[in-house]
Amino acid sequence: MSNPAVNPAHSYHVALRTMADGTLKQVNPFSGTEVWTVPGRGNRPLGAPAAPPEPLQPGAHTDTCNFCEARKLRTPPEKARLVDSGDGFAILRDVMPGELDDTIAQFRRVPNLFEIVSYDYWRKNYGYQMPDARREHMERYLADPAGRSHVLETVRTRLAAAGQDPQMPDAQLLELAPAYFGGGHDVIIARRHYADGAQRSDQLAGSGALSPEEHYRFIAFTVDSLRDLVEQHTYARYVVVFQNWLSPAGASFEHLHKQLVAIDERGVNAETETAKLRQNVNLYNDWGVNHAFYHNLVIAENEHAILTAGVGHRYPTMTVYSKSRASEPWQHTADEVRGVSDLLHAAHAATGGQVATNEEWHYRPMDLDVPMPWRINLKWRISTLAGFEGGTQVYVNTLSPFDVRDRVTAALRTLRNDGRVAAIRIAEECTPAPNLLRYNPNLEG
């Protein structure tokens, strides 16, 4: 196709329409969601009013919530941890209770205490049995007195929180143990609750507070966990990866973490996009990156990824697209993963840790026969859906894609000058070019 940046006659303009009064009407080209942005609201502060910050008490950096470093046994048994190894990092798997303090985990992977899709769901509906390696680790863990005590306490906590009687015989409690060794809902937990040097309760260690290197390790560890769940759960059609930051975005703890959930469907959004993708395999170039260049909505770029302001989202949204030929994150090279991570980190840093956000990963489902790029949406949860949206299915977004672009590019220039984000090209430094996403095999050669 021709370069949209030099072809104003192209039909891309249908996704964006400005009315005479300045109202911007948007239609999401992938989902069909309709969004209006009303003029005069774009200068509102992003962060919601919060309780006045309080001075941190001694020990708060390591002992504030159940995800904190001093409470490692408050979570179910670890599946893996990422630790420093000289000038790189290493992943240690299935650490036993007595080994938890032998290393410092920069990130930990643990089962979710309250699964969205339970172990029993897979067992009763599909006859799922955990792989031999997982069962052997469970038996080894339960044979260890500290491990057995840890699992029993974990199950009691789950039952008590659900309003059930936790005071039952150990044998009955241990019937729930497989969920914490062979389940399909995991959490990736960062080490820090507060930023280094924090003295107040509002100085949280969000994604943007990490260094680019730390964030890359966070993403690489999540990709490794994703690959593992895909391989272990043979009945799953998809593994959902997401991050809720701050309570308005659905976070139970205001401690940095991601979640991975194996499900037996692709999901409504994936099915909708797949139908369009079958009609136009170049969909994500045409309506993602090319469209963004045409409307000057490209925010930043590096060799392996590109960041754009999204069109037609219920909340202000940025999207990181991988340029890789690979459709699955675990098929990306280390440099390609780092390219995606650097732009995602930059988007978080420009957003700021006081803004509630959802991070949503999208990639090709395991059973899909057409390619699609790995892409990540970062959504600012700065408004509440109300009766107007429910009654019309037209969503009012306080910030337009152009407002998002302007806010983020201004912030990124400062962050780059201060050395807080990786080397990236910003806005006008990104050269318009067609079809930068190489997932489409028809573009090769």
What confidence tens digit (pLDDT) does each residue in 88-100 have? 899 999 999 999 9
pLDDT at 10: 41
Residue 445 has pLDDT above 70, yes or no: no
Look at residue 385 in the predicted model and tell me its pLDDT: 79
What's the rounded Cα separation, in Å, for the pair 379 and 358? 5
Res 14: pLDDT:
64
* pLDDT tens readout for residues 173-205: 999 999 999 999 999 999 999 999 999 999 999
- Amino acid (1-letter code) at residue 328: E
Q: What is the pLDDT of residue 45?
A: 62
Rounded mean pLDDT, 65-91:
95
Residue 189, pLDDT score:
98
pLDDT of residue 43: 59
Beta bridge partners, 424, equal none
pLDDT tens-digit series, residues 334-363: 999 999 999 999 999 999 999 999 999 999
Contacts 24+ apart (CB under 8 A), 98-107: 98/144, 98/146, 100/72, 100/73, 104/191, 105/69, 105/78, 105/81, 105/191, 106/81, 106/82, 106/190, 106/191, 106/214, 106/217, 107/81, 107/82, 107/188, 107/189, 107/190, 107/191, 107/217, 107/218, 107/221
DSSP E strand boundaries for 246-338? 257-263, 298-301, 305-309, 317-322
- pLDDT at residue 8 is higher than 70: no
Mean pLDDT of 301-328: 97
Q: Per-residue confidence at 50, pLDDT binned at 50, 70, 90?
A: low
